[in-house]
Structure 1
Amino acid sequence: MAINLKMMATFGVAGNFTGHLEQAGEAVDFTNVKTAEAKAPKAVFPTFIPHASKVTPEFLGVFPFDSTKIIFPQGEQKLQIEPECAIICNVEWAEGKVVALTPVFFGASNDCSIRKEGAKKISQKKNWGPSSKGFSDNAIAIDRFDDKGILNRYRIASFLVRDGVVHPYGEDSAVRDYSYIYGKLIEWLIDKLNNQQNEGPAEMINSYLAEAGFPSQIMVSVGATRYTEYGEHNFLQNQDKAVVVVYPEDKYSQTDIVKAVENGTLNDPEVSVLTQTVVV
């Protein structure tokens, strides 16, 4: 099956790794957001909605994905890699509501974000135009979306390469260690896609999906990992390379991945890699 992100509505999940929002300085935005349990993610936010026109903010209709570069947003200073595993899901609809999501592919994602105060919605920090986000050209098929499936073997690593030096940017983390993953994540996503309200930093997603014509597929970046000390305090600059790697832990060690990034030798079909050069 061919993957065409331009036909999909795409989303991110806020707060699905404990500690990330605090590091990003965004926890305060969610002070009044009520969740079913303490570890639950905070919200789903849109990054691209095809056919955005009347209901959906116009900027969300601009296709933001680029697998080779990030165009630095004019007038901004603080830009960070958001290293994630993203899943592509088939969507079943009934009477304008999502009734089922079936994950079919996964891959490395950079849900790149502007750190700025005063943005009322998460999406305003996410899509600033073409080449503001990334998804790997190598998406890997999902056999089953549970702890017996392929994703339970995978980890997420990320790096900032500056002047030829590779710096670990996010904590190397197992996909299975997301706060919500597998069946619990799908149940939560369906609820949010149908029922999330326009409150605080969140938006009413269902109305956007209706305007998009009830797409048969969506892509969801499941959440950003916690930053390393370096990642938390170093923002992207011109000519930096942002690298996100989703790799099988039974085949590669963390050291193997660092060496492969240093040598530029990550070309295994079992590894999903995204490498973007920052362009000002």
Structure 2
Amino acid sequence: MIDIGLDDMRNWFGFGVAGNFAGHLEQAGEDADFVNVSSEGSAPKGIFPWYAPGTDSFLSEFPLSTDAVVLPDQTDGPLNLQIEPEVGLACQVVWDGDTVVTLRPFALGAFNDCSIRRPGAPKISHKKNWGPASKGVAPTFFEISDLTPDGPTATLRLVCYLHSDGEEHAYGVDSPLIGYSYYGEVLLDWIVERLANQKGSADTPLEDVGALMVASGHPENVLIGIGATRYTPLGESTFLKPGDRAIVRVYDTESEASSELNQLVR
């Protein structure tokens, strides 16, 4: 296990993978956002930014917390926030000029890609970063560089709970990491290709993430939310409220090791 402090991540770039677990987009009511996005087979829909340090946009606000979700002061609609239980993958970036040529994973841990459900939002990023403590990441990661399906992550699983009004409920379906549609080298190669070629357009919710990384000063490291798993029926229909606790855990079925995120909603 390895501890990675929030201050260490302030110069990292943050982005996510959309549609990398079968059924999640439909449960989140976001499948309609991607009607103009084509993807091959079981491939994810695309990548989206949630933290772009040094840029002149709302994405320059550092959104990560290890212990809190702070609700936005106001939104342009209902305050419907959901936990998005994910694996956060820490990678070193290898650049060739302005092009990312390789992503080298070195750690993974529990990540909450907390989202505001904003039907019709022009870009995914508009649902992702509303200021400090709008995202969650565990303070402790698994120190792992091998993501092969039969490698050291083969025994890892991802689970999510909501603690609300004195009761704990299963919020996300307990899922194996290798259950992601794209995982390991297949996922990393696909992300590198998307960073080079995904340009975004007005009729899709996607953006030119590669250009944003360049604008952020060619960051040496990235934190990638590799996709949210499926919700339980309660998770699909329940939004966060003050006083709740959002718990996301990556755990090893063959040991007691785990990466856990526990955030108080306020």
- The verdict on a shared fold, with TM-score over 0.5 as the criterion, is yes
Q: Deviations along 1:16-73, whole A, 9 cap, x unmatched?
A: 0010000000000001101122x110011101011012xxxx1000000011100111
* CA distance, structure 1, for counterparts of residue 259 and residue 158 of structure 2: 10
Instruction: Give the corresponding residue for 1:188.
Output: 190
* CA distance, structure 1, for counterparts of residue 73 and residue 193 of structure 2: 36
Whether the 8 Å CA contact 2:70–2:133 is kept in 1: the answer is: yes
SS of match in other structure, 2:153: helix
Instruction: Give the corresponding residue for 2:63.
Output: 64
Question: 1:115-134, aligned counterparts within 5 Å?
Answer: 115-134=117-136
* CA distance, structure 2, for counterparts of residue 196 and residue 244 of structure 1: 30
Instruction: Give the corresponding residue for 1:151.
Output: 153
What's the CA shift for 1:143? 4.0
What's the CA shift for 1:213? 1.1
Residue among 168, 178, 181 paired with 1:179:
181
* CA distance, structure 1, for counterparts of residue 37 and residue 50 of structure 2: 20
Q: Deviations along 1:249-278, whole A, 9 cap, x unmatched?
A: 223xxxxxxxxxxxxxxxx6x200000000
* CA distance, structure 1, for counterparts of residue 151 and residue 53 of structure 2: 31
* CA distance, structure 2, for counterparts of residue 193 and residue 115 of structure 1: 25
SS of match in other structure, 2:140: coil
Instruction: Give the corresponding residue for 1:43.
Output: 46
Q: Which moved more, 1:136-145 or 1:104-113?
A: 136-145
RMSD: 1.2
* CA distance, structure 1, for counterparts of residue 94 and residue 159 of structure 2: 32
Instruction: Give the corresponding residue for 1:52.
Output: 55
Instruction: Give the corresponding residue for 1:222.
Output: 226
1:273 and 2:260 are equivalent in the alignment: yes
Q: TM-score, normalised by structure 2?
A: 0.94
Instruction: Give the corresponding residue for 1:262.
Output: none
Instruction: Give the corresponding residue for 1:209.
Output: 213
* CA distance, structure 2, for counterparts of residue 85 and residue 249 of structure 1: 16
- Name the % identity: 42
What's the CA shift for 1:74? 2.5
Q: Which runs of 4+ in 1 moved over 4 A?
A: none
Instruction: Give the corresponding residue for 2:37.
Output: 33
Identify the structure with the greater strand proportion. Answer: 2
Q: Deviations along 1:163-210, whole A, 9 cap, x unmatched?
A: 221100010000000000001101110011111112210001121111
SS of match in other structure, 2:103: strand
* CA distance, structure 2, for counterparts of residue 77 and residue 36 of structure 1: 34
What's the CA shift for 1:118? 2.4
Whether the 8 Å CA contact 2:34–2:45 is kept in 1: the answer is: yes
* CA distance, structure 2, for counterparts of residue 153 and residue 7 of structure 1: 31
Q: TM-score, normalised by structure 1?
A: 0.89
Task: Specify every segment of 5 or more residues in structure 2 that has no aligned partner in the other structure, as ranges.
Answer: none
* CA distance, structure 1, for counterparts of residue 189 and residue 148 of structure 2: 13
1:20 and 2:24 are equivalent in the alignment: yes
* CA distance, structure 2, for counterparts of residue 154 and residue 12 of structure 1: 20
* CA distance, structure 2, for counterparts of residue 2 and residue 82 of structure 1: 22
Count of equivalent residues: 257
Whether the 8 Å CA contact 1:239–1:277 is kept in 2: the answer is: yes
Whether the 8 Å CA contact 1:197–1:204 is kept in 2: the answer is: yes
Residue among 1, 6, 9 paired with 1:5:
9
SS of match in other structure, 1:193: helix
* CA distance, structure 1, for counterparts of residue 259 and residue 45 of structure 2: 27
Instruction: Give the corresponding residue for 1:244.
Output: 248
One-letter amino acid of the counterpart of residue 147, structure 2: F
SS of match in other structure, 1:150: coil
One-letter amino acid of the counterpart of residue 182, structure 1: G
* CA distance, structure 2, for counterparts of residue 24 and residue 45 of structure 1: 16
SS of match in other structure, 2:240: coil
Whether the 8 Å CA contact 2:63–2:134 is kept in 1: the answer is: yes
Q: Deviations along 1:109-158, whole A, 9 cap, x unmatched?
A: 00000011221000000000101000000111004121232211100000
